[in-house]
Amino acid sequence: MDGGTLPGATDDANDDAERVVLHVDMDCFYASCERLRDEDLRGEPVVVGMGYEPGETIGAVATASYEARAFDVNSADPISKALRNLPRRADADPDDPDAPDPEETAHYRPVDMAFYKSIAADVKEVLHDCAEVVREVSVDEAYLDVTGRTSWDAAGAGAAEAGAESGAAADPSASAAAGPAERRTLAEGYARYVRDRIEREAGVPASVGVAPNMSAAKIASDFDKPEGLVVVPPGRVREFLAPLPTEEVHGVGPVTARTLADMGIETAGDLAAADPADLEAELGERGRELHERARGEDDREVTPTGLPKSLSRESSLPPTDDAETKRERVRALAADVARRARERECLYRTIGVKVVTPPYDVNTRARSLPGPVDDPELVEEVALDLLEEFADEKARKLGVRVSKLDFAESDQSTLGGFEGNAASDDENAGGEDDAPDDVQDDVPHEPPGEAITDWVGREPGAEEGTNDADDADGAGGTRAARNREGQASLGEFDAE
């Protein structure tokens, strides 16, 4: 295709440079839905979750608006932490000197799945109308292959000539998107069309990344939130990635990042320039793959999403051996995972926990049930029971997982049956963990026969090109600090 690479650009190593991939990521989806039906919430801190009503102590944050994140309230946080950092607006009384300052409070809303699903259906309708191939990572996130709808050809050349002749100061052919693109392309215009249609027809904002491959498009969509549009044209992917920290490269988690740092590799550019043989010697076959990703090479095709084999959530915390703090976090994660399973109308046969102890030792425990169940109380009970083994140990990260999912209608095992007949699959697996620091997403298409120990060392969505960790900073942070959306999406909270 003529014009597939912009003038003056060098060729990417990507063999399929003409491919146009969009990554669409909804901005604080639950909060945006709440603002859609209550305009008074626009511009205000909004926390969507459960357990915040007076007298309730157990619950989790499904999502927090950017305004709430400025107060260190993030997705998957225990609701108790959210209330400490950002009390309810309903409790603010300007006439009561002991009441919280209204300027430091948030509007709390319960999770309303039926409403969110109705808005998500509107979003999906737009996405599937705009692309022949859509990969739904979750209800608030998807990849689109729009190669058949648009191209990397430059756009607006005639307008540029007319502007030059009229002495116009601005070049109408210059890119209006964030990122390394200098000239406006048809792909940029199409991505803007998709983003604008979502807001116009579904009423909620989205950020869109445009690139010649999945991993670059994902990073691009996180680059300029909220309501961002970032274009990374062919020939510019490696340049775009180069200054980013290695953690931005798909497949690089905290442990691998530390290993790379020990090798003097701090950025994606360093990783791209490293000797792949040295990387393979240190990291195995994955070292060469990460080297290719840092160079902008990713030949995966966008394919329709299959059913997940597991659902899990993780959350980091300051290293602590306080038993109740750990139990509180596990309760929140268990409630989150169980809700996700129920929202997806799936049963599960295995419940597990993950405990990461300092410096970064990974331990997992799991228990099999006699049959598939949908029982949030059981998820909490088993998770807390498995956690007891680590009651006296410090933990820096905790996770809860349900696996061996069953999406078919079937009889459920009862709690009594579990207590009387369940076989124990308690396991321990050590080693490095490359999941993001805050929240682990589910992993679609896990290989057959996967054991709970395979949870260790896998990047969330590793086969899908996703990297969905919650962001710890508010909208006012640096780009690197807020590049991960942190939405607890419908496909996950069920989550950034």
**Residue 230 CB: number of other CB atoms within 10 A?**
27
| 141: annotated active-site residue | yes
Cα first-last separation, the chain: 35
- Contact predicate 74/486, CB 8 Å: yes
* φ and ψ of 399, to 5 deg: -145, 155
| Catalytic site residue from 141, 182, 188, 485 | 141
Buried residues in 441-473 as b, exposed as e (16+ CB within 10 A):
bbbbebeeeeebbbbbbbbbbbebbbbbbbbbb
Sequence-ordered alpha helix ranges (H) in 171-213: 186-202
- Contact predicate 209/230, CB 8 Å: yes
Q: Measuring CA to CA, how many Å separate 100 from each of 55, 73, 167, 249, 494?
A: 18, 16, 57, 42, 30
- Contact predicate 376/331, CB 8 Å: no
Q: Measuring CA to CA, how many Å separate 394 from each of 318, 330, 352, 455?
A: 9, 14, 19, 21
* φ and ψ of 190, to 5 deg: -70, -40
By CB atoms closer than 10 A (0-12, 13-18, 19+), residue 134 is buried
**H or E stretch covering 145:** strand 141-145
Give the residue from 472, 28, 469, 479 showing the smallest Cα distance to 224.
479
- Contact predicate 364/354, CB 8 Å: yes
- Contact predicate 260/268, CB 8 Å: no
Tokens 């740092």 correspond to what residue? 261
- Contact predicate 367/424, CB 8 Å: yes
Torsion of CA 163, 166, 170, 176, to 10 degrees: -20
Residues carrying an active site annotation: 141
